[in-house]
Amino acid sequence: MIKNDLFLRALKGETVERPPVWMMRQAGRYLPDFMKLKEKYDFFTRCRTPELATEITVMPIHQVGTDAAILFSDILVVPQAMNIEVEMKPGVGPWLPNPVRTMDDVHKVIVPDIDETLGYVLDAVKMTKKELNDEVPLIGFAGSPWTILCYAVQGQGSKNFDIAKKFCFTNPQAAHTLLQKITDTTIAYLKAKVEAGVDAVQIFDSWGGMLSPKDYDEFSWKYIQQIIDALKGDIPVIAFGKGCWFALDKMAVSGASALGVDWTCSPEMARKLTGGEITLQGNFDPSRLYSPPSEIKDMVCTMIDEFGKDRYIVNLGHGILPDIPVENAIAFVEAVKGYKK
């Protein structure tokens, strides 16, 4: 029995004394102890070593006080398992030396055996669950098929993912074949995480907002819907599409337990678009954590008032930035914990 089950209760839509709080990318780069590990071990070593992933996952629970843990990993472990080489280059970020650009390239992409290729993630889940000792729930995650395709085809991060979009629009058959392979792998991966012990899962559609609403339906949402359909009977699923406010109405009837909202959509609009019956998560601008702690507290309380304390999970509208002072992150969390209507 999880001692602090606020997060899980909010996902079920139950009445709570205050909303739960966690932060995307909370297990990482703004914490001094994380930076010490970063100096010793490269990025994918940290992902692939269960002891390190566990240590990093638990850090913010003890140091910042969030109501849920999210496993330290990366969305790009999935393409790695699918026979797509991924490196993390300092100063560049994700780098894929052999991007997928043709149907022949797509045929070389495999739907892997999850235990064989991503067993280290499952070991990290089990180890982290043990370390958390039922203090708070553990979230597992994956990138959306579209977001994974963006990296696989573009070969690196991008402001507009023009090469990835060109691939989809000039070779839709290859694009859909690749998207389905990523979807099948992601479903198997998340189901394995559920079996290993995670308490909820989140799908990150970081680049969904790059598409028009029509193209979003074709190249992103229908694959996310497959994942939700496959998982929703087993575990709460959170769907988060950055820049995808235009799809919130269909997301609200997808069977997801909660929807993430970024800072470009107001709480009032998010509630209106989703019909007011589904749990929402978000949507504090990560850059606003540069504000003084007293201002952060006021803004957080206003945000909770606007979303309402029930069917709501306090979070950022995207990942925490690397140079945010730890005391500001703590102020964000403490504002929620001290919230009174």
Detail the residues annotated as belonging to a binding site for substrate: 25-29, 44, 74, 151, 206, 318
**Is the CB of residue 287 less than 8 Å from the CB of residue 330?**
no
Interatomic CA distance for residues 43 and 30, integer angstroms: 15
Residue 202: in which H helix or E strand, if any?
Answer: strand 200-205
Residues 6+ apart with CB under 8 A from 121: 47, 53, 71, 73, 77, 189, 193
Helices 293-307 and 267-274, interaxial angle, to 10°? 30
Quote the crossing angle between the two packed helices 293-307 and 326-337, to the nearest 10°.
40
Q: How many beta carbons lie within 10 A of that of residue 290, not counting itself?
A: 14
Alpha-carbon distance of 74 to 24, in angstroms, equals 12
Dmax (CA) of the chain: 58
Q: How far apart are CA 84 and CA 105, in angstroms?
A: 10
CA distance readout (Å), 94 to 2, 43, 51, 175, 248: 36, 10, 23, 21, 29
Helices (H), the chain: 6-11, 32-40, 43-48, 50-63, 77-81, 103-108, 114-132, 145-154, 162-170, 172-196, 213-216, 222-231, 248-251, 267-274, 293-307, 326-337
Binding-site residues from annotation: 25-29, 44, 74, 151, 206, 318
